[in-house]
């Protein structure tokens, strides 16, 4: 196992770092650094800058616009994006729906959707969670009934991130309610958000932000050609997709940037509290350990060419706990009398990070997955 970067990989890192420094717009960098709201236009502007460079979808096959980079180069690129403070590349199209289409989609589906995802012409969101069906995803109740060349969809999705921006949503729906095993009878549908019967209602978060939504489906007619893979085999698609989602939740580059900012801020506040300094040191050690663990996964993928298995849940658990820990320490470091810092700088980020241990499958569920699939308990 080799956890060190080669000379070529270090040279690649310097190339990426230099390009990002020159091409990341200053106003977007400032917005990210100040935890300001990023509009749909902000997100798509950065997406299109990377698309023009040919770097927006590094993991895609070259014939669909991928870079041909190996897994280590892709990891370096993602880390540099986080460390420089670029806007996030919204994953629902690029790194969730697209890999599913590449693996399970028909040629017609690939030709229809992939170029538009790449160019940022279609904005996607995810329709998985439902009221009472979040981490226990197999209990979902949204129904899709086949009627000739259409599915008629009825139900509700919740916590739909950026659904108010989305042109399309990929959904898990129940097409056969009579099966004995809940994971069976679920299908994966692509739904145009402009279809009659689709209603998006905002859910305002505790920091006042509009990021997530409820999405209602009332007799929504979805062409049968928008079914991905086989009817009743959507759980296979969902598991494949979640492996990619959890690999990307560690956000090591972003956590490195936040750690550096926190250390600088703590120094400016002249914090000498031993317990604070001890916890800060522990978080830094945990982040280093997380990076090494991530490199182990990368080395395994480099050697086998296979996507990550169930143990990738370790990255999700530890990465999100570190993200939360950094915001908790930032709140402790702030002067209680500095209302601006608490209300506008650290407070919103602290509130936003509360969700990280829940999305992509709660960390409790991730521990169960590791116990069952990796440890055999």
Per-position DSSP letters for 228-288, written without gaps between them: ESSTTBHHHHHHHHHHHHHHTS--HHHHHHHHHHHHHHHHHTT---HHHHHHHHHHHHHHH
Closest to 228 (Cα-Cα) out of 145, 148, 109: 109
Would you say the C-alpha torsion 350, 351, 353, 358 has a positive or negative sign?
Answer: positive
Cβ count within 10 A of residue 377: 8
Closest to 315 (Cα-Cα) out of 275, 356, 281: 356
Report the pLDDT value the prediction gives residue 318, as an integer from 0 to 100: 92
Task: Kindly state whether residues 221 and 292 are assigned to the same domain.
Answer: no
Residue 193 near residue 167, CB atoms below 8 Å: yes
Closest to 89 (Cα-Cα) out of 56, 116, 54, 122: 56
Beta strands in 281-320 (DSSP E): none
Structural domain boundaries enclosing 170:
124-233
Report the pLDDT value the prediction gives residue 363, as an integer from 0 to 100: 86
Query: Tell me, what CATH number does 289's domain have?
Result: 1.20.140.10
Task: Kindly state whether residues 253 and 229 are assigned to the same domain.
Answer: no
Report the pLDDT value the prediction gives residue 365, as an integer from 0 to 100: 82
pLDDT > 90 fraction of the chain, expressed in percent and rounded? 62
d(CA 74, CA 77): 5
- Contacts of 375 by beta carbon, 8 Å cutoff, 6+ apart: none
Confidence of residue 269 (pLDDT cuts 50, 70, 90): confident
Look at residue 286 and tell me if it is in a domain: yes
Q: What mean pLDDT is predicted for residues 332-357?
A: 73
Q: What mean pLDDT is predicted for residues 275-300?
A: 89
d(CA 193, CA 181): 30
Look at residue 302 and tell me if it is in a domain: yes
Look at residue 21 and tell me if it is in a domain: yes
Q: Domain boundary residue among 233, 262, 279?
A: 233
Q: Of 250-259, 298-307, 360-369, which gets the smallest average pLDDT?
A: 298-307
Q: List, for residues 75-127, the tens digit of each pLDDT value.
A: 899 989 999 999 999 999 999 999 999 999 999 999 999 999 999 999 999 99
Give Dmax over CA atoms of the chain in angstroms: 70
Q: What mean pLDDT is predicted for residues 153-175?
A: 97
Closest to 290 (Cα-Cα) out of 79, 113, 126, 148: 79
Closest to 375 (Cα-Cα) out of 299, 309, 294: 309
Look at residue 185 and tell me if it is in a domain: yes
- Give the helix/strand (H/E) hosting 154: strand 150-157
Task: Kindly state whether residues 320 and 366 are assigned to the same domain.
Answer: yes
What average pLDDT is seen over the chain? Answer: 89
Residue 127 near residue 160, CB atoms below 8 Å: yes
CA dihedral of residues 32, 312, 244, 284 (deg, nearest 10): 10
Residue 337 has pLDDT above 80, yes or no: no
Confidence of residue 171 (pLDDT cuts 50, 70, 90): very high
Task: Kindly state whether residues 135 and 188 are assigned to the same domain.
Answer: yes
Residue 15 has pLDDT above 90, yes or no: yes
Q: Which residue has the tokens 């041909």?
A: 68
Residue 1 has pLDDT above 70, yes or no: no
Per the structure, the count of domains in the chain is 3
d(CA 185, CA 371): 26
Q: What mean pLDDT is predicted for residues 303-320?
A: 78
pTM of the model: 0.86
Task: Kindly state whether residues 299 and 354 are assigned to the same domain.
Answer: yes
Task: Kindly state whether residues 255 and 369 are assigned to the same domain.
Answer: yes
Q: List, for residues 202-241, the tens digit of each pLDDT value.
A: 999 877 889 999 999 999 999 999 999 999 999 999 888 8
Look at residue 105 and tell me if it is in a domain: no
Task: Kindly state whether residues 210 and 253 are assigned to the same domain.
Answer: no
Gyration radius of the chain over CA positions: 21
Task: Kindly state whether residues 215 and 282 are assigned to the same domain.
Answer: no
Task: Kindly state whether residues 361 and 277 are assigned to the same domain.
Answer: yes
Task: Kindly state whether residues 56 and 154 are assigned to the same domain.
Answer: no
Residue 334 near residue 341, CB atoms below 8 Å: yes
The larger pLDDT score, comparing residue 11 to residue 183, is at: 11
Confidence of residue 359 (pLDDT cuts 50, 70, 90): confident
Look at residue 135 and tell me if it is in a domain: yes
CA dihedral of residues 193, 198, 199, 202 (deg, nearest 10): -40
d(CA 208, CA 222): 34
Look at residue 106 and tell me if it is in a domain: no
Query: Tell me, what CATH number does 213's domain have?
Result: 2.40.110.10
Confidence of residue 246 (pLDDT cuts 50, 70, 90): low
Q: Phi first, then psi: give them for residue 140, nearest 5 degrees.
A: -60, 150
Report the pLDDT value the prediction gives residue 138, as an integer from 0 to 100: 83
Residue 2 has pLDDT above 60, yes or no: no
Give 128's strand partners.
Answer: none
Confidence of residue 377 (pLDDT cuts 50, 70, 90): low
Report the pLDDT value the prediction gives residue 299, as an integer from 0 to 100: 74
Report the pLDDT value the prediction gives residue 248, as an integer from 0 to 100: 63
Task: Kindly state whether residues 209 and 254 are assigned to the same domain.
Answer: no
Active-site residues: which are they? 245
Q: List, for residues 28-59, the tens digit of each pLDDT value.
A: 999 998 888 899 999 999 999 999 999 999 99
Task: Kindly state whether residues 253 and 367 are assigned to the same domain.
Answer: yes
Confidence of residue 147 (pLDDT cuts 50, 70, 90): very high
- How wide is the angle at C-alpha 25 spanned by C-alphas 24 and 26, nearest 5°? 110
272-311 as b/e: b if 16+ CB within 10 A: eeeeeeeebeebbebbeebbebbbebbebbeeeeeebebb
Look at residue 290 and tell me if it is in a domain: yes
């Amino acid at each position: 196992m080799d956890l060190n970067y080669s000379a070529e990989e270090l040279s690649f890192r310097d190339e990426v770092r230099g390009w990002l420094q020159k091409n990341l717009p200053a106003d977007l960098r400032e917005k990210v650094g100040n935890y300001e709201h990023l509009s749909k236009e902000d997100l798509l502007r950065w997406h299109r800058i990377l698309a023009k460079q040919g770097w927006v979808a590094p993991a895609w096959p070259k014939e669909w616009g991928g870079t041909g980079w190996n897994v280590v180069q892709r990891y370096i690129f993602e880390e540099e994006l986080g460390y420089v403070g670029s806007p996030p590349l919204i994953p629902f199209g690029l790194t969730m729906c697209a890999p599913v289409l590449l693996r399970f989609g028909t040629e017609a589906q690939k030709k229809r959707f992939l170029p538009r995802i790449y160019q940022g012409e279609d904005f996607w969101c995810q329709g998985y969670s439902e009221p009472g069906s979040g981490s226990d995803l197999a209990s979902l109740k949204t129904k899709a009934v086949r009627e000739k060349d259409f599915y008629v969809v009825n139900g509700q999705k919740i916590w739909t991130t950026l659904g108010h921006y989305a042109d399309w949503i990929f959904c898990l729906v129940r097409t056969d309610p009579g099966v004995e095993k809940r994971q069976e009878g679920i299908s994966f549908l692509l739904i145009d958000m402009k279809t009659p019967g689709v209603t998006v209602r905002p859910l305002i978060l505790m920091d006042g932000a509009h990021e997530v939504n409820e999405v209602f489906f009332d007799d929504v007619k979805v062409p049968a050609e928008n079914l991905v893979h086989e009817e009743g085999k959507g759980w296979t698609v969902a598991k494949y997709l979640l492996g990619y989602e959890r690999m990307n939740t560690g956000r090591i580059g972003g956590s490195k940037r936040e750690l550096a900012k926190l250390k600088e801020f703590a120094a400016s506040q002249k914090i000498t509290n031993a317990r604070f300094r001890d916890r800060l040191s522990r978080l830094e050690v945990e982040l280093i350990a997380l990076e090494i663990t991530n490199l182990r996964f990368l080395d395994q993928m480099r050697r086998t060419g296979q996507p990550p298995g169930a143990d990738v849940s370790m990255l999700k658990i530890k990465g999100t706990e570190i993200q939360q820990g950094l915001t908790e320490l930032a709140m402790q470091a702030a002067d209680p009398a500095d209302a601006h810092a608490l209300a506008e700088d650290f407070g919103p980020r602290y509130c936003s990070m509360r969700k990280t241990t829940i999305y992509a499958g709660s960390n409790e569920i991730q521990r169960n997955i590791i116990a069952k699939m990796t440890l055999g308990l």
